[in-house]
């Protein structure tokens, strides 16, 4: 210990100026007066300081990341959010500023935590939304976290984050992260959030085990109150039927979910005592369903048909209405969505899926993606083949239009409609001249209730 005594120059040797070496601890001890160093307590202190210095030195030289490793971590972090630029308005530059901020420091990745099932370790209050750009894996994971904790997150935010993420990962997978988010929210009892996490798409089926996970979600939905069940099942079916190869890839799951939704809908919409958005009308003397439908259309400014009233009120013969009979009238607007990628036609009553039909479309993409309006309905329509000029009579069983035609109006696209077919194998294929084909039983039902002036949106 006496070797430490002497001039101050000798003490400088222990500091290694200009370096981070922990041997400065030796210099600190050496600067102490000799009488103190000879005490037992200070000898012990010296030993402790030496051990601490050695431990710190070992961490610094062997465990602390090198500059190259830090750079790699930054590159990994930025790669997670590469999709952000596709989902952000180029004029705002939000993604660039956020990415620059992310690159400037190491950060914890919510996406990695989600995939590892370590979500409980994240403190929501310490995270900020604008750290994770829309379209990034971390933004989606962050929204899942907020939904799981039910803290200041809206279903729309989660769905938008999922949709933007899937758009940014087009053709690169992405289903596994979406599936993990669905499972986390499903197991937390956030069933509405689990459906929102799908992003309105069936891309989740890219991931291994997606079918089993959604089957369990469907099982949990069955236990909900009827009205909530109908709304969530409608959202689930709408999402999983948005994407390619629906009927030959996940058709059995869609049919199972659709049966459950229709069964729940029976007790709400198709029941005199069911609780749904509706008003009541009393049949006047010599009154008709057409008269009630016209009165409702004028008052509420929504398309309405006697066929809807007939279906909802379980009226087999509308000519046999009773005086003072109470008629239940749904007042949510009806709309139709035809999705080309999935070959589906969806009829919505407000936010509820009223009916779902598989369809056939125009070959070579001849069915235009646009918004039509129902302008006319014809039973047993005549048809002239525009290519051959041949006339098909309406009562001819070989008429390619089948027994029903619903004409669609548009300022640019003329001659389009919804109709039946004599070739059931064409359903689910592109084989028509541009019209939307349905099976005969489907077009018969649609013809009965679809009102004129209904909007028909055709989407890719």
Least confident window among 191-195, 368-372, 390-394: 390-394
Which CATH class, in words, describes the domain spanning 335-459? mainly beta
Does the structure show a pLDDT above 80 at 29?
A: no
Which fold does the domain 278-330 belong to in CATH?
Membrane-bound Lytic Murein Transglycosylase D; Chain A (3.10.350)
pLDDT the model gives residue 257 = 95
Least confident window among 79-88, 255-264, 425-434: 79-88
Does the structure show a pLDDT above 70 at 140?
A: yes
How far apart CA 390 and CA 383 sit, in angstroms, is 8
Element (H, E) at 372: strand 371-379
Contacting residues for 223 by C-beta, under 8 A, at least 6 apart: none
Does the structure show a pLDDT above 90 at 95?
A: no
Nearest to 385 by CA among 398, 374, 370, 371: 398
How buried is 218 (Cβ within 10 angstroms: 0-12 exposed, 13-18 middle, 19+ buried)? middle
First to last CA, the chain: 84
Strands 326-330 and 361-362: unpaired
Q: Per-residue pLDDT tens for 259-296?
A: 999 999 988 887 767 777 889 999 999 999 999 999 99
DSSP output for 122-170:
--GGG--GGGS-TTSHHHHHHHHHHHHHTSS--HHHHHHHHHHHHHHTT
Does the structure show a pLDDT above 60 at 71?
A: no
pLDDT the model gives residue 17 = 41
pLDDT the model gives residue 119 = 66
With cut-offs at 50, 70 and 90, classify the pLDDT of residue 245: confident
How far apart CA 372 and CA 156 sit, in angstroms, is 27
pLDDT the model gives residue 121 = 56
Average pLDDT in the 358-377 region?
94
Domains 278-330 and 335-459 share a fold: no
pLDDT the model gives residue 169 = 87
Does the structure show a pLDDT above 70 at 4?
A: no
Better-scored residue on pLDDT, 153 or 211: 211
What are the residue ranges spanned by the domains of the chain? 2-63, 77-264, 278-330, 335-459
Average pLDDT in the 325-344 region?
93
| DSSP reduced 3-state for 413 | coil
- What share of the chain has pLDDT > 70, as a percent? 73
Q: Contact at 8 Å (CB) between 407 and 376?
A: yes
Q: What is the DSSP letter of 278?
A: E
With cut-offs at 50, 70 and 90, classify the pLDDT of residue 77: very low
Quote the pTM value: 0.73
Contacting residues for 75 by C-beta, under 8 A, at least 6 apart: none
SS (H, E, C) 377-440: EEECCCEECCCCCCEECCCCCCCCCCCEEEEEECCCCCCCEEECCCCHHHCCCEEECCCEECCH
Q: Which residues pair with 383 in a beta bridge?
A: 392
Better-scored residue on pLDDT, 315 or 69: 315
pLDDT the model gives residue 117 = 79
Does the structure show a pLDDT above 80 at 242?
A: yes
pLDDT the model gives residue 90 = 44
394 sits in the region (left: phi over 0; alpha: psi -120 to 50; else beta) called alpha
Chain mean pLDDT for the chain: 80
How far apart CA 46 and CA 28 sit, in angstroms, is 10
DSSP output for 201-226:
SSGGGGSTTHHHHHHHHHHHHTTS-H
Average pLDDT in the 10-33 region?
46
With cut-offs at 50, 70 and 90, classify the pLDDT of residue 416: very high
Q: Which residues pair with 347 in a beta bridge?
A: 336, 355
């Amino acid at each position: 210990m006496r070797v430490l005594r002497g001039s101050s120059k000798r003490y400088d040797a222990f500091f290694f100026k200009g370096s981070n070496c922990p041997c400065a601890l030796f210099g600190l001890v050496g600067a102490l007066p000799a009488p103190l160093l000879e005490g037992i307590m200070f000898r012990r202190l010296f030993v402790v300081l030496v051990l601490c210095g050695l431990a710190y030195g070992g961490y610094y030289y062997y465990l602390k990341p090198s500059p190259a490793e830090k750079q790699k971590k930054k590159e990994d972090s930025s790669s997670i959010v590469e999709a952000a630029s596709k989902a952000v308005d180029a004029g705002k530059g939000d993604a660039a500023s956020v990415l620059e901020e992310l690159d400037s420091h190491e950060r914890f990745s919510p996406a990695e935590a989600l995939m590892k099932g370590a979500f409980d370790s994240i403190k929501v209050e310490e995270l900020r939304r604008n750290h994770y750009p829309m379209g990034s894996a971390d933004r989606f994971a962050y929204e899942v976290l907020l939904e799981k904790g039910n803290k200041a997150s809206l279903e729309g935010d989660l769905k938008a984050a999922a949709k933007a993420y899937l758009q940014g990962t087009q053709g690169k997978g992405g289903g596994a992260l979406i599936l993990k988010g669905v499972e986390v929210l499903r197991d937390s009892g956030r069933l509405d959030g689990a459906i929102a996490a799908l992003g309105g798409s069936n891309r989740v089926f890219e991931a291994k085990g997606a079918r089993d996970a959604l089957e369990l979600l469907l099982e949990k939905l069955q236990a909900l109150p009827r009205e909530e069940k109908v709304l969530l099942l409608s959202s689930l079916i709408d999402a999983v039927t948005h994407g390619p190869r629906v009927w030959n890839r996940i058709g059995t799951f869609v049919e199972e979910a659709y049966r459950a939704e229709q069964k729940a809908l029976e007790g709400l919409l198709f029941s005199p005592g069911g609780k749904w958005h509706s008003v009541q009308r009393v049949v006047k003397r010599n009154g008709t369903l057409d008269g009630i439908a016209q009165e409702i259309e004028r008052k509420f400014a929504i398309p309405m048909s006697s066929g809807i009233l007939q279906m909802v009120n379980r009226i087999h013969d509308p000519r046999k209405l009773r005086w003072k009979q109470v008629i239940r009238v749904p007042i949510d607007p009806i709309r139709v969505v035809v999705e080309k990628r999935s070959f589906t036609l969806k009829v919505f009553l407000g936010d509820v899926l009223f009916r779902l039909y598989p369809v056939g479309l125009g070959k070579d993409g001849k069915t235009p993606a646009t918004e039509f309006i129902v302008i006319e309905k014809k039973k047993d329509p005549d048809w002239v083949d525009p290519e051959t000029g041949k006339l098909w009579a309406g009562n001819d069983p070989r008429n390619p239009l089948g027994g029903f035609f619903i004409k669609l109006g548009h300022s640019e696209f003329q001659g389009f409609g919804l109709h039946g077919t004599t070739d059931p194998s064409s359903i689910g294929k592109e084989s028509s001249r541009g019209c939307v084909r349905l099976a005969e039983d489907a077009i018969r039902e649609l013809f009965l209730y679809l009102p004129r002036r209904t909007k028909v949106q055709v989407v890719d």
